[in-house]
Structures are given as structure tokens and as C-alpha cells.
Amino acid sequence: MPELKKYFGEVYLWQYVPSLVGSIIFTLLFTLATVAVGYKMHKSKTRFCLPFFFGGVCEVLGYLFRALCWNATDSLPLNIMQALFLLLPPVFFAATLYMVYSRLVRAIGGESCSLISVRWTTRLFVLGDFLTFNIQGNGGGLLANADLVHIGNIIVITGLIAQILLFLAFVACCVVFHRRFRVHLGHTSIPVAIRWEAYLNMLYFTSALILVRNIFRVVEFAMDKEGYLQQKEWPTFVFDSILMLLVMVAFYVRYPDDLQPHSRDSAMELVPKDEPRSGETGASNQMEYR
């Protein structure tokens, strides 16, 4: 049986021996989910979903390195790699979710109902996402240094809190758009071809999962090495691994393959409501939106 080893005989990098079985299981599950998302992305040519795919690849690599740590708890490179690859995937997931929102609003012609101009929505949120990525990445790189681990924790927590606030703003945009567009449809009685509410529900669900995960991570990093979340592994599997896997599954189930940019400017098209009957002349076709 493997045992905890000190890095250069001075400091423990782990507070427990990571589960080999658990790491292998999640490596396989995330591999399956990533391949499935990658297949849909390739088939539908939805390149804007590439960040989400990268997030899945990071999860796979993170649990692969975590499995290797099972018998090498004194390995600094393995510890850094597993920590970073498991810390950053939600940033990639979020980038794609922001773009799904913008493309959905454009596809159903709801620009006027968006809280923030669609032209700026993706830019603002993805820029914020990029900043949180850099903050968390820089902080994560300091965690392996015993002298800088406290500073690293503070930086990571700052990045996570920034991402939480960014996500709350994003969810607010989704909720406001949802209400406004529903009222708009009630006044116009225009049916929409795209299942827009199903996409919004997917955004709500995945955003909630990522928010819970980030809150867990904030609490975890706020604790010292003697804290419960630092001493036990099961909370990581429950509040990170499973939640991120559910994010990938939900995204796969409601994959935005009909929100491909440039393929259609709007899901609302003029089509004949009633075709003229044989022998009838001078009758003009009634038109409706769908």
C-alpha cells in the first residue's frame, strides 16, 4: 500500500493518499464525455464549442495525473499538473456557455430583450473569464511552493470569487432575457422554431453546478491544511468531479448544434400559412413567423 511521502523529506504535498480507483473511474468517464462532445462538435462544425472541449481534455489529464500521484505523493510536477488541470476546466466551460447565450439571442431575434448588447455580451464575459483564468492559473502555480502557498491560496480564492461574481452576472442576464422575451412573444404570438427555453434551462443548470463547485473550492482553499476539506477526498469527488461531469452531460444532451453562426441569422422565418387551393385566384398567402 502506498503511503504519504514528504517532498524532499520536508513538507507533505498531499494530506491523504489520492484514490487510484476513483481517479481512474473519473478519467474514463471524462474521456467518454469529452469524446462525445468532440464528436458532436466535429459533426456540427460548431467551433465556438472548442473551449468546452478543451475543458473536458483538462479534466481527463487532471484525473490521469491524479492517478499517477497515488504512488508518488512526493512528486511536485505531478501534484502541480493535477491541481492545475482540475482547477481550470470550469473557466473553459464558462467561455462556451457565454457564447451559447449570445448565439441563442441572435438566432431567435431577441437582441432587444438582452440586458447587455449582444455585441458586447460575449466580449465582456469571455474577457472576464480570461482574467479569472489567469488569476487562478498564477495562483495555482504558487501552491507547490511551501513559502508561497499562502499567497497562492489567496490568489486562487480571488480568482474563484471573481468567477462566481461573473457567473452571477451571467445568470442575471439569462433570467432578464428569459422574462423579457417571453413577454415579447406573448404580445406578438410569434412561435419560434428553436427550443430556446430548453437552451436557457441548460445554461441555468450548468451555471448552477459550476457556481456550487466554485463555492466549494473557495471554502476548500480558505481552510488550512488541517481543515476537513483538505484532509478528506470524498468532498472533491462529490462537489467537483461529479458536478463537472454533470455539466458535460447536460451540455451534450442539449448541444447547441443549431446555433451555428453564419448558418442562419434567425430562427424566425416567413413561411406560407395556407397554400392557395386549386382553382382559387387572387388569394394572397397569409404569412406567419415561426
Question: For the chain, which residues make up each domain, given as ranges?
Answer: 6-289
Residue 226 has pLDDT above 60, yes or no: yes
Query: Measuring CA to CA, which residue among 221, 207, 95 is closest to residue 155?
Result: 221
In Å, what is the CA distance from 174 to each residue of 52, 95, 116, 124, 239?
Answer: 19, 15, 10, 15, 24
Domain spanning 6-289, CATH class: mainly alpha
What kind and span of H or E run contains 4? none
CA distance 27 to 63: 5
Handedness of CA 134, 139, 143, 145 (dihedral sign): positive
How much is the pLDDT for 140?
80
How much is the pLDDT for 277?
39
What kind and span of H or E run contains 127? helix 118-142
Interior angle at CA 242, CA 240 and CA 247, nearest 5: 90
Q: Which of these ranges, 41-45, 228-232, 243-247, 263-267, has the smallest mean pLDDT?
A: 263-267
Model confidence band, residue 144 (pLDDT cutoffs 50, 70, 90): low
Mean pLDDT value across the chain? 86
How much is the pLDDT for 2?
82
Residue 187 has pLDDT above 90, yes or no: no
Beta bridge partners of 185: none
CA distance 160 to 135: 9
Model confidence band, residue 64 (pLDDT cutoffs 50, 70, 90): very high
CA distance 236 to 122: 30
- Residue 72 has what DSSP assignment? -
Task: Average the pLDDT over 101-115 and give the result.
Answer: 93
Task: Average the pLDDT over 96-118 and give the result.
Answer: 93
Q: Which of these ranges, 131-145, 173-187, 212-226, has the smallest mean pLDDT?
A: 131-145
pTM for the full model?
Answer: 0.85
Model confidence band, residue 149 (pLDDT cutoffs 50, 70, 90): confident
